[in-house]
Amino acid sequence: MKRDFDMAAALSGATHVQLDGGYFVSSHALRRLMSRGLSLDAIEAVLNFGRVSHTRGAEIHAVGWKEVERYQRKLIDLAPYAGLQVVCTRNGGVVLTAYRNHDFRNLRDGKHWIRRRPRSRR
């Protein structure tokens, strides 16, 4: 399986892995994913369906219960990814790290989220 090969490449000194959406995952992020038991599929789900906040000099994608409930109506199960946060570079091209944290208060810039991912039109 390609994903398993990519994770093994992280330990062998690879500098990054490219995801289907065009994001690169740094070797640091790959090591953190492995130590935290997170998969590249989980990271892609958060990048595709999570809310986005620009704070602390980074772009942070996060899946909370609001996203789980919203996409559950569309038969997309995000429950395993609830609380998962993915930190990317400011321009959004490189995944720096990922972790699970259900407290989203530190992701706010002022009173509101900066940008929500646009809803798909079908």
Domains of the chain, by residue range, sit at: 2-107
2-58 per-position pLDDT tens digit: 455 455 555 555 566 878 778 889 989 999 999 999 999 999 999 999 999 888 788
Q: What is the pTM of this model?
A: 0.74
CB contact at 8 A, 45 and 67: no
